[in-house]
Amino acid sequence: MNRVYLGSKNAAKLKAVEMALPDYEIIGIDAKSGVSNQPLTDEETIKGAFNRAKELPQDGLRLGLEAGVEIHNDVMFLINWGVLIDEENNTFYAGGTRIPLPEEVRRGIIEDKKELSEVMEKYSDIDNIRSKEGAIGYLTCNQVTRSDIFIHIVKLLYGQYLYQKKG
């Protein structure tokens, strides 16, 4: 069976990979992002996803998935990035959905220097929201969950991988 390593043991991320790649054996490993606990830019979020993937064993596909925030025109957006590294060290990148975060959430991240999950737990009154629906699920009334966003990213990554393989 084909193997894919995920640089996380987060339940929402594992579910996403299982849904997107059902024919693969999925192994979640706690991998370090090498960036701040709350990435504040696309660049930092991409770097975190890449670092997670790079740290994984090389006998299968390696996936790093990272959530962060980015400010555009004074509006803070939720962002998500993924990196897939194949057995030949080809690297693929994909980004996900962006939605604005409430001002109260932005203040908690910027002024109080807290992670999005910490702020969202207080804002939503949902414990361990990062392993459940995530901020996106709460802010969209579960029309889109954290797993949904990462399923999309994994499919974008895997699709690029398949395209490269076909030559």
Q: What are 103-134's pLDDT values in tens digits?
A: 999 999 999 999 999 999 999 999 989 888 88
How much is the pTM? Answer: 0.93
Mean pLDDT of the chain: 95
Per CATH, is 2-99+145-166 categorized as 1.10.3130.10? no
Strands 75-85 and 24-28: unpaired
Task: Delimit the domains of the chain by residue range.
Answer: 2-99+145-166
Measure the CA–CA gap between 129 and 118, rounded to whole angstroms: 9
Tell me what the mean pLDDT of segment 25-54 comes to.
Answer: 97
List, as one string, the DSSP characters of 30-95: -----S-SS--SHHHHHHHHHHHHHTS-SSSEEEEEEEEEEEETTEEEEEEEEEEE-TT--EEEEE
Give, to the nearest 10 degrees, the angle between helix 146-166 and helix 11-20: 40
Tell me what the mean pLDDT of segment 10-30 comes to.
Answer: 96
Which pLDDT score, from 0 to 100, does residue 61 have? 98
Q: How far from chain centre, in Å, is Cα 89?
A: 20
Using the Cα atoms of residue 45, residue 75, residue 142 and residue 111 in order, give the sign of their dihedral: positive
Which pLDDT score, from 0 to 100, does residue 133 have? 86
Query: pLDDT > 70: what percent of the chain?
Result: 100
